[in-house]
Amino acid sequence: MAALSVATAGAPGLSSETWDQSSQISDSQEGASIPPRKHIPAQPAVAAAVPKAERAAALQLIRDEIGECTRCPLHKGRNKLVFGDGNPAARLMFVGEGPGADEDAQGLPFVGRAGQLLNNMISAMGLKREDVYIANVVKCRPPGNRVPEQEEGATCSPFLFRQIDVIRPQVLVALGATAATWLLGSRQPLAGLRGRVHAVRGAQLIVTYHPAYLLRDPRQKKEAWADLQIAMRELGLKPPAKA
């Protein structure tokens, strides 16, 4: 499927707004994902569907199982574990790399400057943050916001896959190279993954830039909006009318 060629006009928060260019999120360097040292482990089998009325409780069971996790070294520098946030029955789910400083402090995903931009991206799609679900590959902040190590991603990603299986989103959006790597199970350049639909755990996966990268290079907001429009088309959404 060819990438859509569109302008950012009509996409609030993606074209005209000026954003702070500082960011410490490692996915701001979109050309690289996790270090190519080992194969990405195979994903677990997709779990049985959970009725919508029971999905919040099912997610809480996963959170309870994680507990005050010490399964990998990331727990040593953790302030708060960041499980996920949003609608347990969301049709649209965003997956990032891992928590940053603001997320580690609050225990919620995407609440810093990159989160502000993500909120605007969601609004540009005609949705609210509470309509979607947001999670990360790893649930504890890597030191210095570096890319998660192989062991860390392999330890934490099974919980992400279980979250996906409970929520059963129609569309997944991978925010950046690391998220795309773990969701697809292989390392590929981000440019080769964008502009088309992938199949992951019964959902349609769209790959786009991490919001932190867009803060560093606002010129790419047009391309990110094109990616979001693919997701919107799959969801049957149209951009909200201008005020």
- The domain spanning residue 105 has which CATH number? 3.40.470.10
Contact criterion met (CB below 8 Å) for 162 and 15 = no
Cβ burial, residue 63 (10 Å; 0-12/13-18/19+): middle
Say which residue the tokens 């929520």 belong to.
167
φ/ψ of residue 230, rounded to 5? -65, -45
Cα three-residue angle 126-178-152, rounded to 5 degrees = 125
The pTM of the full predicted model, rounded to 2 decimals, is 0.88
Does some domain include residue 205?
yes
Q: What is the DSSP letter of 95?
A: E
**Bridge partners (DSSP) listed for residue 198:** 205
Neighbours of 240 (CB within 10 A): 14
- Assigned domain for 10 exists: no
- Does residue 155 form part of some domain? yes
Local confidence pLDDT in tens for the 243 residues of the chain: 333 333 444 465 554 343 333 333 455 456 544 455 568 999 999 999 999 999 999 999 999 999 999 999 999 999 999 999 999 999 999 999 999 999 999 999 999 999 999 999 999 999 999 999 999 999 999 999 999 999 999 999 999 999 999 999 999 999 999 999 999 999 999 999 999 999 999 999 999 999 999 999 999 999 999 999 999 999 999 988 876
For 191, the domain range is 54-235
How many independent structural domains does the chain possess?
A: 1
